A = this chain, B = another copy of it.
Amino acid sequence: MVKYPNGSLPIFNQAKQPKIRKKYEHRKGVNFSDRGMTLEQQINESNKYYLEKEIAVVHKKPTPIQIVKVDYPQRSKAVIKEAYFRQASTTDYNGVYKGYYLDFEAKETKNKTNFPMKNFHEHQIYHLEACLKQNGICFTIIGFTSLGRFFVTPASFVIQQWYKKHKSSMTLEEIENNSIEIQSGFRPTIPYLNAVDQFITDRKKDNGK
């Protein structure tokens, strides 16, 4: 079986992690969203902030890898010499917030007018459906990078669209009309929990009927 190292992160790992620049003060009107980070990096940074502040515990799942060959050099850590990417069976992110299970996928596009549905994989749609059935709070975060706009869209809408027009796309207008738009900020970079709060409020209203 595969052996695991004793827990120390290699130095190059730590160097590669996006660091939150703690010396910055938040200045009103300054747009921090355009720092050359990908949506994934922005969400990871936001999750780190939420974790540190004990607001939520959300992590990106590691990419699944099929390991075939591992070397154990003397006095050194294990080196994987042959491995393959595997198909994931879930979305990239999940976690817990105020007792609620959160599950989401994040996607970005350079397109300015619509979001191609082919960006979603079948397994992601099926997973979101399964989590919805278990009453999780499930959504997508779609970033229109050319517009600097970010939308938190309930999974129920995305799933409906995916089945309705498979391999087509959602227009920006459809996304605007069925999402909560979030303003990218400083800390967190992508404050997606603001949208989740709205989902929770809506859910409580629905349950109260």
Give A residues with C-beta under 8 Å from B. Answer: 2, 4-5, 7-10, 12-13, 51, 54, 56-57, 59, 61-67, 77-90, 94-101, 103, 121, 123, 127, 130-131, 133-136
What is the chain B residue whose CB lies nearest that of A80?
A: B83
* Sample (8) of A-B pairs whose CB atoms are under 8 Å apart: A2-B63, A4-B63, A9-B87, A62-B65, A63-B65, A78-B85, A83-B83, A99-B135
Contact call B80/A79, Cβ cutoff below 8 A: no
Contact call A94/B97, Cβ cutoff below 8 A: no
CA distance A59 to B56 in the complex (A): 20
What is the chain B residue whose CB lies nearest that of A66?
A: B13
CA distance A79 to B80 in the complex (A): 11
